[in-house]
Amino acid sequence: MDISFLNEFMVPIVAGICLCVGYVLKNIVSTEKINRFIPLVMGVLGVALNWWIQGTFSAEILLGGLFSGLSSTGLHQIFKQMTEQTSN
């Protein structure tokens, strides 16, 4: 199954902003209750940012915002695992 078509929905600006906001939430408001909701917050924030940037709302805007916002949580995990491997 080829999912490369999702690349056209990736919005790097939205992913970067969500990555930074997620990092701040994870490190400043570090409780288990908040950590559970970070992917949800990033998805909603991604949709809101993409809607604001594009100036209109459609299914593509929704998918692009969700994909970019949720990918920021995956990027955080990749960075975390890479830094843990280099420190060992």
Per residue in 30-83, pLDDT (tens digit) is 677 778 888 999 999 999 999 999 999 999 999 999 989 998 988 888 888 888
Is 7 inside a domain boundary? no
pLDDT at position 2: 65
d(CA 36, CA 56) in angstroms, rounded, equals 30
Round to the nearest angstrom and report the end-to-end CA distance of the chain: 36
Is 2 inside a domain boundary? no
Q: How many domains does the chain have?
A: 1
Closest CA to 51 of 69, 72, 71, 70: 69
Q: pLDDT grade, residue 88 (50/70/90)?
A: low
pLDDT at position 58: 93
pLDDT at position 56: 93
Is 6 inside a domain boundary? no
Is 4 inside a domain boundary? no
d(CA 50, CA 6) in angstroms, rounded, equals 15
Q: Token pair for residue 47?
A: 């949709």
pLDDT at position 87: 65
Is 5 inside a domain boundary? no
Classify 30 as helix, strand or coil.
Answer: coil
